[in-house]
Amino acid sequence: MRPNPTQKISTNALKVWRITGLLETLLYSIIPVGYFFLNHFLQFPLWLFWCLLGAILIVGMVKIMIIPTLKWRSWRYEVYENEVDLRFGIVVVRRVLIPMIRVQHVDTRQGPLLRRFGLATLTITTAATVHQIPALTEGRAASLRDQISKLTTEADEDV
């Protein structure tokens, strides 16, 4: 059996995922706030407001405190001469091997949060789907992009 990949993504991924979880929780909080104002005009039961607020707080704590840590611990990758090995997932752990001969192109991308923390996502496109390695440092993402591109060219020449 093949050993697990050893390369980890950047620890700054935790900050990005926590901020994303906070923003999503703030977006979800519109539901109890809207319910509270509707309650003022339509006389809905007040206990439902407290249930909604409690649920949002619990979901927010899980999304901000627990999921980013579990997600970061589970993400591993490795680039070999003939394939890219990805391992990720919290409950369902996925293991993906991407043969170099199947890679169509490799690129990096950054959103505002990733750019703020000096991170980038490496995207590997095959004919069937797109694979991503999230939250790599900008330098690491660029060197991996170049390395995979070079290995892909060499794999194409062998065929």
* pLDDT tens-digit series, residues 22-63: 999 999 999 888 888 888 888 888 888 899 999 999 999 999
The predicted structure's pLDDT at residue 34: 87
The predicted structure's pLDDT at residue 46: 83
Average pLDDT over residues 153-157: 75
* pLDDT tens-digit series, residues 77-114: 999 999 999 999 999 999 999 999 999 999 999 999 99
Of residues 153 and 59, more confidence is placed in 59
The predicted structure's pLDDT at residue 35: 87
The predicted structure's pLDDT at residue 42: 83
pTM for the whole structure: 0.83
57: phi > 0 → left, psi -120 to 50 → alpha, else beta; which? alpha
- For the chain, the first-to-last Cα distance in angstroms comes to 27
The predicted structure's pLDDT at residue 45: 83
Distance CA 54, CA 128 (A): 42
Distance CA 58, CA 130 (A): 33
The predicted structure's pLDDT at residue 158: 63
The predicted structure's pLDDT at residue 159: 56
Residue 158 token pair: 């062998």
Average pLDDT over residues 13-26: 95
